[in-house]
Chain A
């Protein structure tokens, strides 16, 4: 092609200012567009937000920002924002409200809550959703005296937390990360793009730039999996089988790091072999309670922590008391060398060729042992031994939702940790690393609290905790559950994060008891956060025929936006946006530390609210004072804190330890522990809204056994002891629950529950099929159905976001092209997705990069008409759909008539991804079904504009 250059007209000069003023002011704060908690700089111009960018100095995102964070402007100015407290006037669920003043709203809530507290505090169920202030909300519940508190972890990631904390003293989730700058081989299981999202993206780029191999184990090739060097398109729910086959191969070929195992794990600890007794499977211990190992030099059992001893790892040994015992390693080698774990035995179930499993095992071993790293960094271990270098096995792993959201997720995640430990790849150079404040002791904290809750009395400890065995369950003396969600019962003994997904169903059924008030925050339980939205809406609106009152008498809800849940509340507290409040991301809660050291951060009000709204945490401070909860009032009963900001600065959880670790002490010079500093928030603002501390180089790896690290962590208040944290290949707490199910000890499960406990509670990782798969033949429901999180949308929050909803405004059902063809389904066809529980209609999209037995869709795009400030014909409600419509909270009744939660039997984690479906071509109108009635928007909520010209210069 030729272009005329000389015959054209000359360019008229454009008036172009290359150096315009960007803003009048720039304020640092912390993003809240997802759980990542990146540092941002907000530019203001003429009193409006001009631009939100990543803070280059921030330890989480180091200057980058994602699509969600970049769309914060539209979140802040959303027409779906609530503007005043609301009191229900019509039937619950109708959306009929009147606006009331804050004083009326707060005194009404205080009346309801006060009556509960002075009679039976557990009749308050206080559950917060994607709350980033759980150390505060949990403490409020404790001071109120109800055991019925949790946030959304039970339906999100508790399997990752529990498996990690009970195995390695840390977890994947967002609390550990691959050593992005040294790893040479990286295996990522089922990670969606909403936790730690910017660090993972940046890490993948760093990994690829160095030429490391990245293997994605994921049925779907989108997002992170799209850039993998190899994709293992596994069948959902079979990851544990795949991992244990890798374990089998490493043991078979003797490609394991035994030196690491005996020094840093319980591989050599002796396990009592006395079948049929109450001690079978527990560790042999000395008189002081220390676990024993067999010293080959002395030919006797000694304290397993004895420096320099020569431990036996296989064999059967006679203990002084005449019993026999075998080392943990013996038990695990015996189990996983069995042919049942061979690649050939699992390949078909996983949908992965056996040759691929063999090859990946060889590749990992090659990298771990032939490409080991020696960092020239001396360090000293907890035995006092100096090491001249830090040796690393540069094989890193990471896992999240694809592992977590199955009823076998706890054991599958334990299997991944087992694989890491066998390779010597925990917190060594190039492997997976703890992020501060982890590692922590195993288990990391006190048992859950809640038995014997009394009127007008705070609980003696936090409701959520870490059980060590049946004696720590929250069961009344007659065996009935203490908690409304049945967490820490035989339903889910290790439900560390509670079970938010069972609260409404249990409260509705009065099982284990009725409650008075359901108080929720930022949890869209009437829609996408319910395992089944239609059932949940019915339970929230059901009335007791005897009394004519709602079965759940009071519902209080706090949210910034007109979500589906707002319409199902009696009293609504309108929250601020994340740019209108003081807030803190605390080390007491969900920390943002890195492998280099601890960090925490704040949010500051960038703009004052232009509506009659209040930050929810300040509302809780106010309610705490009205209820005269201990810790919220002075001795004379006056409010102790002005608002949440005042609490952040002045509250001390233990002497010198408060919500923020930085700039403590009267002059702000102390880190971790120190008296409150009245200027603390201003110091954070001046520092870019965060605080971080870097450990010295000798403390950066082997933290579980690194003397320098543990000493500094204790000095900073991150950990209570400098003792070595011995990694647990074999979990004794799990065995204690198992022994109870075998009929030992004073606290035993009901006979009908025993097979279920015995099947899931194994002290060494196991695999069992997802529980729901036992109900109905595979031939009726041949496909696995899962959701993925788009990188540009966080749950339901962003469907109202004018920019993000242009990217994801309606979701499709993605099907493998060949699978669809066999069913006669073509691109764009409308289809029914049918499970044993129900059917939902959506539109098909076909793809190649998908396990043929799997269908998937984007999570939480579908909306109920009328919610979130969207027009009634918005595609989110006409074409968007939720797989939740075909999931259920409960498994079918068992033989004894018990309905168990559709959850992991160990942790109570909601088993979203156990869903099996069949797909059929649908006739009828081109819109989604079921189509619940449209919600009425709250009073005075104005519809959004038809045209948005954000940024247009004022005329």
Chain B
């Protein structure tokens, strides 16, 4: 059993905006592309050109429908590690490979001592971990640990690959320990929520819910002209003063 820090300095994570996510998979593929050659290399692909094609992804996009008939709506839902404050995936790890960093709260897997027992993936209720049977290790989102502090990358681009790629700005990266940070502010303004809070994992990542549909009638204005018949309607414009 691996311990977790009592508290972390920073609390880094993501805000994911379900109101603007169009389900385009840009974040997932860019994540795959960055990380397959990065700290967690490789993200193996099985049967890449045959039947049963599958691979290791640190981020996957699902689409759900909510509601019935004309009231239904499609919600695109990106799913990755939530970097919980109470990560059971860490506490169940028998070797200490799964750990939560004290300095920033990021949950990582030390591949060198991961024995591939998969206890952590059983412990994660969010399905955020993916096992690579070829490499024999567990993979998961690192918040691009090799990007966010990387002095070889321009400062403005030191964000996770998914955040940098997202064309609809549905992903935001920041420090939840700071109430004034971009992510804390977004959560406050838009009513960001925890996924399955009742389980008590206290996820760091937050999701912004879709805004309600808007099918309202505009403010009342004076009664509209209702001329009778086409000829009368045209008469309205006969003496209209217009200038070319």
Contact flags B39-55 to A (C-beta < 8 A → 1, else 0):
10111111111110111
**Chain B 127-151, CB within 8 Å of chain A: the 1/0 string?**
0000000110000000001100111
Residue of chain A at shortest CB distance from B61: A807
Q: Is B72's CB under 8 angstroms from A221's CB?
A: yes
Which of A12, A306, A944 has the most B CB atoms < 10 Å from its CB?
A12
Whether the Cβ atoms of A951 and B21 lie closer than 8 Å is: no
A363 on the interface (CB 8 Å rule)?
Answer: yes
From the candidates B156, B214, B241, B243, name the one contacting A229 in the complex (CB within 8 A): B214
* Across-interface contacts of B91 in A (CB, < 8 A): 3-4, 8
Interface string of A64-78 (1 = CB under 8 A from B): 111111110100000
A202 vs B24: C-alpha distance when bound (angstroms):
12
Instruction: Give Cα distance in the complex from A193 to B25, angstroms.
Output: 12
Asked if B20 lies at the interface with its beta carbon under 8 angstroms from chain A, I say yes
Please, how many angstroms separate the alpha-carbon atoms of A193 and B244 in the complex?
A: 41
B2 touches A370 (CB 8 A): no
CB-CB nearest in chain B for A850: B72
Instruction: Select one of A22, A224, A805 contacting B152, CB under 8 A.
Output: A22
**Are B41 and A791 closer than 8 Å at their CB atoms?**
no
Q: Are A198 and B167 in contact (CB under 8 A)?
A: yes
Q: Which of A64, A202, A315: most chain B CB closer than 10 A?
A: A64
| Contact among A5, A50, A69, A224 with B22 in the assembled complex (CB-CB below 8 Å) | A224
Known contacts A8-B2, A11-B3, A50-B37: A871-B50 contact under CB 8 Å: yes
Q: Mark A303-345, 1 if CB is under 8 A from B, else 0.
A: 0111111111111000000000000011001100110000000
Q: How far is the CA of A701 from the CA of B23 in the complex (A)?
A: 33
Contact B243 A370 (CB under 8 A): no
State whether B20 touches A11 (Cβ < 8 A): no
* A19 CB within 8 Å of chain B: yes
CB distance from A6 to the nearest CB of B (A): 7
User: Cβ of A64 and Cβ of B21 under 8 Å apart?
Assistant: no
List the B side residues contacting A233 at CB < 8 Å.
70
Contact partners of B157 in chain A: CB under 8 A: 56
A14-B50 contact in complex given A4-B1, A7-B1, C-beta closer than 8 Å: no
The residues of A that contact B169 with a CB separation of less than 8 Å are: 202, 205, 209
Establish whether residues A22 and B153, one from each chain, have CB atoms under 8 Å apart when the complex forms.
yes
| Mask: chain B, 181-221; 1 = CB below 8 Å from A; 0 = not | 00000000000000000011100000000110111011101
Assess whether B50 is in contact with A310, with CB atoms less than 8 Å apart: no
Q: Are A313 and B50 in contact (CB under 8 A)?
A: no
Known: A19-B150, A792-B24. A54 touches B165 (CB 8 A): yes
Please indicate the chain A residues that have their CB under 8 angstroms from the CB of B243 in the complex: 259, 262, 308-310
Chain B, Cβ-Cβ closest to A364: B218
Number of interface residues of A (CB under 8 A): 129
**Nearest A residue to B135 by beta-carbon distance?**
A949
- A38 closest partner in B (C-beta): B167
- B166 in contact (CB, < 8 A): yes
The answer on a CB contact under 8 Å between A8 and B1 is yes
CB-defined contacts of B54 to chain A, threshold 8 Å: 806
Contact (A943, B49) CB under 8 Å given A4-B91, A11-B99: yes
Cα-based distance from A293 to B243 in the complex (angstroms)? 12
Is A806 a contact of B45 with CB atoms below 8 Å? yes
Bound-state Cα–Cα, A911 to B25, Å: 30
Contact residues of A: prevailing secondary structure = loop
Alpha-carbon separation in the docked complex, A728 to B37 (Å): 55
Give bound CA distance, A67 to B161, whole Å.
12
Looking at the assembled complex, report how far the CB atom of A12 sits from the nearest CB atom of chain B, in whole angstroms: 5
A153 vs B58: C-alpha distance when bound (angstroms): 38
Indicate with 1 or 0, residue by residue over A364-403, a CB within 8 angstroms of chain B CB atoms.
0011001000000000000100000000000000000000
Chain B residues with CB under 8 Å of A824's CB are none
Is there a chain A Cβ closer than 8 Å to B108's Cβ? yes
CB distance from B164 to the nearest CB of A (A): 7
Chain B residues within 8 Å of A254, by CB: 224-225, 236
Q: Is A112 an interface residue (CB 8 A)?
A: no
Q: Is B12 close to A, CB under 8 A? A: no
Interface residue A669 (Cβ < 8 Å from any Cβ of B): no
- Choose from A11, A70, A193, A221 the contact partner of B165 (Cβ within 8 Å): A70
CB distance from A594 to the nearest CB of B (A): 16
Q: Find out whether the CB atom of A334 lies under 8 angstroms from the CB atom of B1.
A: no
Complex contact B1–A201 (CB within 8 A): no
B166–A807 touching, CB < 8 Å: no
Q: Looking at chain B's contact residues, is the secondary structure mostly helix, strand, loop, or mixed?
A: loop
Q: Across the interface, do A66 and B20 meet the contact criterion of CB distance under 8 Å?
A: no
Contact, CB under 8 Å: A226 / B74: yes
User: B233 touches which one: A7, A230, A251 (CB < 8 A)?
Assistant: A251
What is the size, in residues, of chain B's interface with A at 8 Å between Cβ atoms?
105
Are B74 and A19 in contact, CB atoms less than 8 angstroms apart?
no
Known contacts A5-B6, A7-B3, A874-B50; decide if A65 and B30 are in contact (CB<8 Å).
Answer: yes
Q: Is A849 a contact of B168 with CB atoms below 8 Å?
A: no
Give the chain A neighbours of B67 by CB distance below 8 A: 848
| Residue B81, interface by CB 8 Å | no
Instruction: Assess A66 versus B45: contact at CB under 8 Å? Given A12-B96, A71-B33, A226-B74.
Output: no
- For residue A18, CB closer than 8 A to chain B, the reply is yes
Is B28's CB under 8 angstroms from A67's CB? yes
Write out the residue numbers on chain A whose beta carbons fall within 8 Å of the beta carbon of B42: 949-952
With a CB–CB cut-off of 8 A, which chain B residues contact A15?
112
Residue numbers in B under 8 Å from A950 (CB-CB): 36-37, 42-43, 45
Whether the Cβ atoms of A314 and B168 lie closer than 8 Å is no
Evaluate contact between A946 and B96: CB separation under 8 angstroms. no
Q: CB < 8 Å: which of A17, A258, A304, A311 contacts B146?
A: A17
List the B side residues contacting A804 at CB < 8 Å.
Answer: 29
- When the two chains form their complex, are residues B96 and A314 in contact, meaning their CB atoms are under 8 A apart? no
**Using Cβ atoms and an 8 Å threshold, which residues of chain B touch A919?**
none
A442 to chain B, nearest CB (A): 18
With known contacts A1-B200, A20-B146, A204-B22, A262–B45 Cβ distance under 8 A: no
A306 to B244, CA, bound (A): 7
Asked if A53 and B236 make an inter-chain contact with CB atoms under 8 angstroms apart, the answer reads no
A338 to B96, CA, bound (A): 77
Interface residues of B in 1-18 (CB under 8 A from A): 1-4, 6
Instruction: Say whether A52 faces chain B, with CB atoms less than 8 Å apart.
Output: yes
CB neighbours of B99 from chain A (8 A) = 11, 14
Beyond A19-B149, A230-B214, A792-B25, whether A9 also contacts B96 by CB under 8 A is: yes
Contact of B25 among A67, A198, A209 (CB under 8 A): A67
A109–B240 alpha-carbon span in the complex (Å): 67
In the bound complex, how far is the Cα of B135 from the Cα of A201, in angstroms?
A: 37
Q: Considering the chains assembled together, what is the distance between the CA atoms of A262 and B73 in angstroms?
A: 42
Inter-subunit contact B219/A252 (CB<8 Å):
no
1/0 contact string of A1-36 vs chain B (CB within 8 Å) = 101111111111011111111100000000000000
Q: By the criterion CB–CB under 8 Å, are A21 and B50 in contact?
A: no
Cβ–Cβ contact A227 & B21, under 8 A:
yes
A-B contact pairs, 29 of them (CB 8 A): A3-B86, A7-B3, A10-B96, A12-B110, A20-B38, A52-B33, A61-B167, A65-B26, A67-B24, A67-B26, A67-B28, A70-B29, A198-B167, A208-B211, A221-B73, A223-B22, A226-B73, A226-B74, A233-B70, A253-B224, A304-B244, A315-B238, A370-B218, A806-B53, A807-B28, A874-B53, A943-B49, A944-B48, A944-B49
The residues of B with any CB-CB pair to A shorter than 8 Å are 1-4, 6, 19-26, 28-30, 32-34, 36-39, 41-51, 53-55, 57, 63, 65, 67-70, 72-76, 86, 88, 91, 96, 99, 108, 110, 112-113, 134-135, 145-146, 149-153, 156-157, 161, 164-170, 199-201, 210-211, 213-215, 217-219, 221, 224-227, 230, 233-238, 240-244
Starting from the known contacts A8-B2, A306-B244, 6 additional A-B residue pairs (CB-CB under 8 Å) come to: A229-B214, A252-B225, A252-B227, A262-B243, A366-B218, A874-B53
Interface residues of A (CB under 8 A from B): 1, 3-12, 14-22, 45, 50-54, 56, 61, 63-71, 73, 79, 193, 197-198, 201-202, 204-205, 208-209, 213, 221-227, 229-231, 233, 251-255, 258-259, 262-263, 268, 293, 304-315, 329-330, 333-334, 337-338, 356, 359, 362-363, 366-367, 370, 383, 791-792, 800, 802-807, 809, 818, 847-849, 869-871, 873-875, 878, 943-953
